[in-house]
Structure 1
Amino acid sequence: MTRMIVVGVDGSACGTDAALWAADDARRRGLGLQLVHAAVKPLRDAAGRGRPPDEEALRMLEETAALVGKEAPEVAVSSRLVFGDASAALGEAAAGAALLVIGKRGRGGFSELLLGSTAYQVAGDAPCPIAVVPEGQGNPREPGEVVVGVDASAHSARAAAFGYTEAAVRGGRLRLVHVLGDGDDTRSAGDSLPQMIGRTLADVLPSPRDARANVEIIEETRQGSPAAVLADSATGAALLVVGSRGHGGFRGLALGSVSHPLLHHAPCPLVAVR
């Protein structure tokens, strides 16, 4: 499963965009893709008798798989119809996966996937990195820049490592952004940025002399609200990556006050790395 990307689909436009984005990412990274739809109808009725397959859901999966196959024919695509709560079903399906992808809006089994309790449960409980794809951004064509919010935490280092891989396969730049609070000294903190985050990044990013280091890495320190600064930094970017937990300006990044506006207003696909 580590060679697989899992995407939740529901027949909505945003769900289709999520599937196309996931297929493009799978193509770039040489991974397989599994389409998962969670249907509310149980496998058995109250008397314990088996129910017939959900024909509509199966048809939607087939149509989405055909569309994905047309856009990314080199990607091995499989489909899976599961039953029950959407967040639990997605979490179970994504166990051991390289990435779980969901759309910013959904319907049916994925209704209110971004804005309701399901989204926060998925973000908090997903067993792998999770990507949230806005509608209309399902099939990127340009290399683009990958922006990563960093601090001195291990979660931040893992986010940087994920961002580096994405920048490498996309042929773009990696921008590491550290956000200072309004009461912090930008000049002194900015001068100490390499020392503050260097130890957490040293083990996950190639050194400048490493033969693998084919990604331009830009480090910058900015001041203000972390969510607002990161959203602004990601304007025009291919991807915004954050750690699921941080400290300092990124405390509670996955489920707290920073992630809430990012999930709503990130201008590009957002990945939270556990």
Structure 2
Amino acid sequence: MTGPIVVGVDGSGRSLRALIWAVHEAASRGRALRIVHVLSPAHEYAVTAEGHAGELGQRDKGVVAEATMIAEEAHPDLKVTSALPTGAPPAALLSESEHAHTLVVGTRGTGGFGSLLLGSVALQVVGHAACPVVVVNQLTTGHNRIVVGTDGSAHSDAALAYAFEQASLRGIPLQAVHAWIRPGLHAMTTGGALDEAATRHREDLAKWLAPLARRYPEVEVVKDLPEEDPMLALARASDRADLLVVGSRGRGGFRGLALGSVSHQLLQFSQCPLAVVRPHPAPRSD
């Protein structure tokens, strides 16, 4: 992945938290920061109204100017660019993702990026972005832990790779969570069948982690195999993490589904910033 760290801003408090996360991510990776504030299509008509046009233009420019100032004050050497595209937020964000290393947004806002992210826009942006998307609900630091959910799917493999990279970059441990349910969903399943299932899941997790553990030997890996619903396990783990990483969908998703049920629910229930990662598209042969 190449390109800048792109962050969507709208002047809200949650947008500010997304900006702060993006600034530190860009600085830690030595990448440029691109600040994007999307103007509503209605803005094109509003600018023709005398007086009102100037007010809208000043506010929009002010949002970008303030975000730029915050970024440059935090990291004076950081390269910062900005854009004010007009159109629907999903289309603008997806376009930006084509050239971004990471796209960062807040969970709610003043009618821009964040306020839509808990609705249909989440399925379009998080599920279809060409780069990892980090959704910042609240900033968390000091836990010194990255948490990643894994189930052996291609999306899960992409999440693992991103999580290992983040843990290595930050020099902190990685908690790999593989939640599972008893065979046949029967709570009374016991004895040999249960032991066999538990062993199989432990072996699967070790197999999924092995290639990346060899690539990042400096990363301490904590294996976590809770016997519970994946969403509940990951939401609980996010309460003790600085970043939660998941694939955009896993083994339980339907073909063509934009966003899996677990990642969709975690947009609302994660207690730390949530990174949603999709597999890299296969290279074209033409």
Measured in 2, the distance between the counterparts of 1:111 and 1:26 equals: 20
Measured in 2, the distance between the counterparts of 1:69 and 1:189 equals: 53
The Cα offsets for residues 148-169 of structure 1, whole Å up to 9 and x where unpaired, read as 0001112111101100111111
Cα distance change on mapping 1:21 and 1:148 into 2, 3 Å: same
Cα distance change on mapping 1:143 and 1:257 into 2, 3 Å: closer
**Aligned partners of 2:124 and 2:258 also within 8 Å:** no
- How far off is 1:193 after superposition? 3.3
- How far off is 1:201 after superposition? 4.1
Greater CA drift, 140-149 or 215-224: 140-149
Letter in 2 for 1:228: L
**Aligned partners of 2:143 and 2:241 also within 8 Å:** no
Q: Decide which structure has greater helix share.
A: 2
The Cα offsets for residues 235-269 of structure 1, whole Å up to 9 and x where unpaired, read as 12000000112115x77996343233311110100
1:240 equivalent to 2:235? Answer: no
What TM-score does the superposition give when structure 2 sets the normalisation length?
A: 0.82
**Aligned partners of 1:35 and 1:61 also within 8 Å:** yes
**Aligned partners of 2:4 and 2:32 also within 8 Å:** yes
Cα distance change on mapping 1:81 and 1:30 into 2, 3 Å: same
- How far off is 1:187 after superposition? 3.8
Letter in 2 for 1:240: L
| Counterpart secondary structure, 1:108 | coil
CA RMSD of aligned residues (A): 2.7
Q: Which of 228, 245, 254 is the matching residue for 1:224?
A: 228
Greater CA drift, 250-259 or 162-171: 250-259
- How far off is 1:45 after superposition? 5.1
| Counterpart secondary structure, 2:85 | strand
How many residues were matched structurally? 263
Greater CA drift, 9-18 or 177-186: 177-186
**Aligned partners of 1:105 and 1:114 also within 8 Å:** yes
User: Is there any run of 5+ residues in structure 2 with no aligned partner, and where?
Assistant: 187-192, 279-286
Q: For 1:110-149, what aligned pairs fall within 5 Å after superposition? A: 110=113, 112-135=115-138, 137=139, 141-142=141-142, 144-149=144-149
Q: Match for residue 178 of structure 1? A: 178
- How far off is 1:56 after superposition? 1.5
| Counterpart secondary structure, 2:218 | coil
**Aligned partners of 2:108 and 2:116 also within 8 Å:** yes
User: Is there any run of 5+ residues in structure 1 with no aligned partner, and where?
Assistant: none
Q: Which of 191, 197, 210 is the matching residue for 2:199?
A: 191
Q: Which of 213, 219, 224 is the matching residue for 1:215?
A: 219
Greater CA drift, 84-93 or 114-123: 114-123
Measured in 2, the distance between the counterparts of 1:240 and 1:73 equals: 28
**Aligned partners of 2:250 and 2:260 also within 8 Å:** no
| Counterpart secondary structure, 2:241 | coil
Letter in 1 for 2:197: A
1:261 equivalent to 2:265? Answer: yes
Q: Match for residue 18 of structure 1? A: 18
Letter in 1 for 2:196: S
| Counterpart secondary structure, 2:163 | helix
Identity value in percent: 39
- How far off is 1:194 after superposition? 5.0
**Aligned partners of 2:247 and 2:276 also within 8 Å:** yes
Letter in 2 for 1:131: V
Measured in 2, the distance between the counterparts of 1:218 and 1:186 equals: 22
Q: Match for residue 97 of structure 1? A: 100
| Counterpart secondary structure, 2:166 | helix
| Counterpart secondary structure, 2:225 | strand
Measured in 2, the distance between the counterparts of 1:251 and 1:240 equals: 23
Measured in 1, the distance between the counterparts of 2:2 and 2:129 equals: 14
Cα distance change on mapping 1:111 and 1:104 into 2, 3 Å: closer
Q: Match for residue 161 of structure 1? A: 161
Q: Which of 77, 87, 90 is the matching residue for 2:90?
A: 87
Q: Match for residue 60 of structure 2? A: 57
